[in-house]
Amino acid sequence: MESWLLKGGRVVDPASRTDAVMDLLVVDGRIAERRPAQKAGGAPAGARVLDMRGRVVCPGFVDMHVHLRDPGQEHKEDIQSGTRAAAAGGFTSVACMPNSEPWNDGLSVTEYIVAEARRRGVVNVHPIGCVSKGGRGEELAEIGDMVRAGAVAVSDDGRCVATSALMRVALEYSKIFGIPVIDHCEDRSLHAQGVMNEGYASTLLGLRGIPAAAEEIAVERDLALAAMTGGRLHLAHLSTRGSLQKVRRAKAEGLAVTCEVTPHHLLLTEQAVVDSDYDPNTKVNPPLRTEEDRLALLEGLKDGTVDAIATDHAPHHEDEKLREFDDAPFGLIGLETAVPLLMDRLVATGEIDLTRLVTLLSVNPSRILGLGKGTLEVGAVADITVIDPGHESTVDPSTFQSKSRNTPFRGWKLRGWPVATMVGGRLAHELQVTARR
């Protein structure tokens, strides 16, 4: 296996409390040496040198919430295209939700995903199994089998775990394996036929609304059950101020709960649906909320209430989104835009610093899923994300590695893009790194 010398980059490794300009030597797929940057030389024989001056070198980013659509919906995405999109976006690991066709609710689908990822994937793929058989919310799925085959968490994905009793059982049973139960918090009866946030914008546009309470009721339920069972609860893509308040309070009370937010909820509001004149690429579940909610999520990022940023990458074929707003499926892609969006809109603006960004994108998601990654300490697997904070580019979906194009960020001019992604010492993606300078 090729050896690498990453020279002169700014190494941001929160796990070892490091933020310094360093040289990083990668041998046999692991970090072999870390030392203060040297002017020249120092490369062992045969090592390829990558000039990292002016770049930020981070432990590989982990997107703990993606949809790879494989098996069964390969017209939207497959494991190869999805992992290529991940690599291009600076992610070295993804955890994929079980809503494939068939759902990943047992040994065979989990084994397929793991094997297919080994054959065609370019980043690490960690399957998330179903909580219930077929995701139907009735009987518990064979979680033990799935964990044995590589599942790192369970979730009924877009379906909020159907009943309180099932959620209780899931939180209890998953303790055997030490894995989190990930829930998409949503009271279905309140969600009804909603297609966007319920509020001023839905009234203005005459679209059916999804109230914030639909999410908050489920958050409250799950927190109560986590407290009762002592199980590990992870709340997916929280979107409202009320949800954040509940999680903040639960954490203060010592509950082992974690949560994630998405870049689109951090950067967009329901106004995007108005401004785009019903563009289905602003239709997502949970829906884009209000400015007040958005600011609350940002506050949660800063004060530690939010543990992770995940994209909820949800590819849909262009034809499926080229429809009436009511009829288009929910979901946006995010793998190839997350890092530049966060760099440009949160880091460059001083909302959060690089250490916090890396914590949210690498350290914490790795810890929540028990991946043993998220660090650049000597001996660690060489999963590395390199960002060029000065690189400016416009979001152009036609260049995406993903098979899908459903992004609301088309045309956004952003500064700070991932330029190299290394997975286990193998260069999975490279953009202008060696070419420049």
Q: Among residues 393, 391, 422, which one has the least CA distance to residue 409? A: 393
Q: Which residue out of 23, 78, 312, 383 is catalytically annotated?
A: 312
CB of 289 to another protein, least distance (A): 12
Q: Closest CB to another protein among 164 and 203? A: 203
Q: Closest CB to another protein among 16 and 271? A: 271
Q: What is the largest CA-CA distance in the chain?
A: 67
Those residues whose C-beta lies under 8 Å from the C-beta of residue 355, and which sit 6 or more positions away, are 12, 14, 19
Query: What is the Cα–Cα distance from 311 to 90, expressed in whole angstroms?
Result: 12
Cβ(363)–Cβ(15) under 8 Å? yes
Place of tokens 């300009």: 21
- What is the full DSSP assignment across 241-280? HHHHHHHHHHHHTT--EEEEE-HHHHH--THHHHHTTS-G
Cβ(261)–Cβ(302) under 8 Å? no
CB of 411 to another protein, least distance (A): 15
- Put the strands of the sheet holding 124-129 in their side by side order: 61-66, 91-96, 124-129, 153-155, 181-183, 233-235, 257-261, 308-309
CB of 211 to another protein, least distance (A): 8
Whether 396 is catalytic is no
Query: What is the Cα–Cα distance from 190 to 3, expressed in whole angstroms?
Result: 55
CB of 345 to another protein, least distance (A): 25
Number of C-alpha atoms within 13 angstroms, CB side, residue 391?
Answer: 21
Q: Bridge partners of 420?
A: 386, 430
Pair of tokens at residue 425:
């010492």
122 in helix, strand or coil?
coil
Please give the angle made by the CA atoms of 325, 294 and 309, to the nearest 5 degrees.
90
Q: Closest CB to another protein among 90 and 209? A: 209
Q: Closest CB to another protein among 116 and 270? A: 270
Q: Closest CB to another protein among 277 and 349? A: 277
CB of 267 to another protein, least distance (A): 22
- Cis peptide bond N-terminal to 280, omega within 30: no
CB of 215 to another protein, least distance (A): 15
Q: Closest CB to another protein among 186 and 198? A: 198
CB of 242 to another protein, least distance (A): 15
Query: What is the Cα–Cα distance from 251 to 359, expressed in whole angstroms?
Result: 18
CB of 207 to another protein, least distance (A): 5
Contact residues: another protein, CB under 8 A: 198-200, 202-209, 211, 277-278, 319, 322-327
Pair of tokens at residue 117:
């990822």
Cβ(50)–Cβ(81) under 8 Å? no
Q: Closest CB to another protein among 133 and 208? A: 208
Please, where are the H alpha helices in 253-344?
263-267, 271-275, 291-303, 318-321, 338-342
Measured between alpha carbons, how far is residue 303 from residues 14, 258, 356, 360, 395 in Å?
Answer: 16, 13, 10, 12, 30
Residue 381 DSSP label: B
Q: Closest CB to another protein among 8 and 199? A: 199
Cβ(287)–Cβ(197) under 8 Å? yes
CB of 279 to another protein, least distance (A): 8
Main-chain dihedrals φ then ψ at residue 175, nearest 5 degrees? -65, -25
Q: Closest CB to another protein among 282 and 337? A: 282
The residues carrying an active-site annotation are 312
